[in-house]
A and B are shown apart, each in its own frame.
Chain A
Amino acid sequence: MLKVTLPALAVGLISAVAAAQQPPRPDPGLAVYKKANCVGCHKWHGGGGGGYGGDALSLRHTQLTREQIIETVNCGRPGTGMPFHLRGAYDATKCYDSLRAEMGAQMPPEGTAFLRQSEVEAVATYVAESLKGKGEPTLADCTAFFGDTSRACDLYRKETRDGTPAPQQTTH
C-alpha cells in the first residue's frame, strides 16, 4: 500500500510544482506545424507564397474547413508539392479513393514526418483557428511563433518603434 501511494503522491506533487512554474502551455498544433516542417513552404505565418519552390497556398486565405484540412494533411494535394503525412496513405489506406498505382504523376510527395491522428487534428485546429481568416501577421503572432530568442520579429518591433505602420507581409 505504502509503496504504491508514496510514489503516486510524489509524482503528483512534482507535477503540481512543475505546472505552477511553467509558462502558458504552447499550442500543441503549433508544435506539430513546426515538427512537420509546414514552415518550409507555408512560412511561419502561413502566408505561403511564391519563390524557388513554386507557390505554397496561403493558410490565412484558405477556404478549407477543418475536416478538409485534416484530409489535406493526411493525404497531401495530388499534383502539387504538398506532401502526405498519414503513414500508409495510398498503400494501406486509400486517399481520395485512390491507391498509389492509380496516382501516377499526381502522387504527392511523402512528408518530413508521419503524424499520428491526434497530431493531424491538432495542426488542423491550429490552421483553422489561428491562421485561417487572419489578416496580416503581427508582432504578437511572430513572438507566439518564435518566442523572444530570435531577431526574426525585430522587423515588427522596428516598425512599431518608429511609429510607422507594421510591414505588409505576403499572405497571398
Chain B
Amino acid sequence: MTRFSTRCRRALAAGTALALVTAAAQAQAPTQGAAPAPATGQTVDQNRLLKADKEEGNWLLHHKNFGAHRYSTLAQINRDTVKNLKVAWTMHLGGIEGGGIWSHGGLEGTPIVENGMMYVTDGWGSVYKIDTRNGAGKLLWKMDPKTDREWAGAVACCGVNNRGVALWGNQVISHTLDGRLIATDKETGQVAWQRQVADPDKGETITGAPLVVHDMAVSGVGGAEYGIRGWIAATDLKSQKEIWRTHTIPGKGEPGIETWKGPNNAEVSGGGSTWVTGSYDPDTDLIIWGVGNPGPDWDNTYRPGDNLYTDSTVALDAKTGAIKWHFQHTPNDPYDYDSVSENLLVDAGGKKMALEADRNGFAYAVDRTNGQFLWATPFVKKVTWTRGINPDTGKPFEYDPTKDVQRYNPAVTPHPENKVADVCPGNMGGKNWPPTAYHPGTGLWYIPVIESCNRITHETMTTASLKPREFFTGGGPTQPFRITGSVTAIDVNTGKVAAKLETPFPLLGGMLATPDLVFTGEPDGRVMALDAKTLAKMWEFNTGGGVNAPPMTFTVDGKQYLAILVGLGGAWDKWFIDSTPELKSIQAGSMLYVFAL
C-alpha cells in the first residue's frame, strides 16, 4: 500500500503522461523475474572513481577519468570496422521549452553509463535513466526538477544548458540552471535531497556537471556577464552541508586583492565564473579548475589591475578549498577570454602537466604540482590580440606589469578610444566549453576548435551600470565574419601542433578518443569518426539536428556503443548565428543517438 501510494504521489507530482508510463513500467518490473538482475545496485565511492578507467565498459565520470582524458580503451569500433557503424536506437528527450530570454533549450551533456544504465540530462536539468540492455533504449525514470525557467533563464547568458550528472553511493547527483544541487535515488528516480547552491537573484546559474571527490560534490557557477563574484563550492554528500566555498575573486585582505584597483570596487562584481567541470589530481589531492572572464567583459578600464583569479587555472586543496597555486592566461582581459576549460592532467617529458586550451587561442602546459609555466602553443589559425606568449614568463609579449590597464594589440582591443574593434579569436574563443580528449598511446591531445574573429563594440561602464539580474558587459559582440572550425591535435611531448582537420562549422560539441579513432560532431548535425593519427575522416552520419554535445562510448551485453546528445541550443543560435548563416535552418530538438556496429 505504501509503495502504491508513493508511486501515485510521484506520478501525480510529475504530472506528465511520461511519469505515468514510468510508474507503470516500474510496477511491472517484478513480473520480469526471469531476467537477470541488473548490476546497478553497486555503489559509487572515491575508490571506484579513482579507478574509473579500469571499468572499461563504463563511463563513470563526466570527463571519463579524474584527469579529463575522455579516452576509452574500447576498440570493437576501430579503423577497420567503423564503416559499419550505424544507428542502433534513438530516444527523444524533453527540455526544449524556452524561459527567460531563451526561446528554447538545448543539449550539451555527456551521458554517464554504469553497467548498462545510462544517465543523461536535458537543458532544464531533468535527469533520465535509460536501460541500454538488449540493443534498445528503455526509459526507466525521469526526474524533473521543475526548474524555475523565468528566474534562471533571464540570467543565463548563454543558453538553457546542463552538461550532465555524477554518480555517488546509490544516488545520481545533478545541478539545475536555477542553482540547485540535487541527489536522486538511482533506483527509484525519487529526489533524496536538494540544496540551493547558487542564487539567480544575484545572477548566478549552474550549467556544469558536478565533480564528485572524497564524498563531496564540487559545483561551479556561471554569471560573469551579470556582475557575480565567482566561486567553487563543495557539498558533503553525507551531511548535505557545505564544506567549503572558495571565491575566485579575493576578498578584502586576501592575497590577490591588490590586483583589483581603481575607485569602482570592481572586485565585488568581478566575474570569475567556474561553469565547466574541473579535474582532480589524486597524487597532490588538488582540484584543478578553470576560472572565467572578469566583468565587465569588454571594459577593462573599469577594473584596473591583473584581476586575479579571472582567466586563470586554479588548484584547490580538495580538503579545504584553499588555493595552492594559480596560473593566469590573460591579465586584465578586455576580450572575454575565459579560462573555464577543463584541464587535461598527463605526465610527459618527466613533467606532471596540466594542459588547458584557452579561449585566447593558446594551449598552455603548466606543472600541476606548482603552476609553473611550461609552454604555450597557438591552436587557432588566426590570433591578432597578441604577437604571442613569452616563453620565459608565460604572459603575452605585450603584457606590461607596470600598467594597470592592458591594451595588448591596441588596434584590435576594445577601449574608450577604440570603440569598435575586430579581434581574433572572437569572444567565443578558440575553444569554448566543449571538452578535449587525449590519446595516451600517441600523446596526442585533440582540441575542438572555433576558428573565429568577431567585432566588439565597447561601452564604458560605471558603478551605476551594475544592477541585479542585468547584463554588465561593457559592450557586446556582433558577427560580421564567417566562423569555421577545426580539430587540432597537439603532441603533449613536444607542445607542437601535429595535425589539423578544418571543418566548415565551429566545433561546439567536443571530443572522444579511442585507440584507433577520435569522434566529434558538428553543429550542422554530422557526427564523425576521424583517424586518431592523421585526423582523416573515416565515417560520418548526419543526425539531422545540431550537435552541441560530446560523444562517449560504453559497452553493454559485451557490445560497444557510441552515444551522443543532439539538440543545438547554447549561446550559438542566439548570439553567434550570423557567423554561420547555414545553421539558421537547424531546428530546436532534443534527441539521444546511440550507434553500434
Contacts and interface: CB of A to CB of B under 8 A. Distances in A.
A52 B571 contact: yes
Contacts of A154: 151, 201
A53 B474 CA distance: 12
Interface stretch (B258-266, B465-473, B527-535): B465-473
A151 B574 contact: no
A152 B468 contact: no
Contact of B467 (A40, A54, A150, A169): A169
Contacts of B571: 52
Contact-residue size bin, chain B (C-beta under 8 Å from the other chain): 20 to 34
B470 A169 contact: yes
Interface in A49-92: 49-55
B121 to A, nearest CB: 21
A44 B102 CA distance: 12
Interface string B189-231: 0000000000011000000000000000000000001000000
B198 to A, nearest CB: 13
**4 A-B pairs with the lowest CB-CB distances in the bound complex, closest first:** A51-B471, A150-B150, A170-B470, A151-B151
Contact of B101 (A39, A155, A168, A170): A39
B270 interface: no
Interface stretch (B136-144, B340-348, B475-483, B544-552): B475-483
Contacts of A152: 100, 148, 150-151, 154
Interface residues of A, number: 26
Interface residue SS majority, chain B:
loop
A49 B227 CA distance: 15
Given A43-B101, A50-B476, A52-B575, A155 B225 contact: no
Contacts of B225: 51-52
A15 interface: no
Contacts, number: 80
A35 B201 CA distance: 25
B96 to A, nearest CB: 14
A54 B457 contact: yes
B237 to A, nearest CB: 26
B587 interface: no
B79 interface: no
A169 B468 CA distance: 7
Given A51-B157, A52-B571, A150-B150, A155 B468 contact: yes
Q: Name, among B98, B200, B467, the residue most crowded by chain A CB atoms within 10 Å (CB to CB).
A: B467
B367 interface: no
Given A40-B103, A40-B574, A51 B154 contact: no
A47 to B, nearest CB: 8
Given A43-B101, A152-B154, A53 B467 contact: no
Nearest to B575: A52
B467 A52 contact: no
Contacts of B478: 54
Contacts of A155: 201, 468-469
A55 B475 CA distance: 8
A167 interface: yes
A37 B574 contact: no
Contact of B575 (A39, A53, A55): A53
21 contacts: A37-B98, A43-B101, A43-B154, A44-B150, A50-B471, A50-B473, A51-B473, A52-B225, A52-B574, A55-B476, A150-B150, A151-B150, A151-B151, A151-B178, A151-B201, A154-B201, A155-B201, A155-B469, A169-B467, A169-B469, A169-B470
B317 interface: no
Interface in A121-161: 146, 150-152, 154-155, 158
B517 interface: no
Contact of B477 (A39, A47, A54, A169): A54
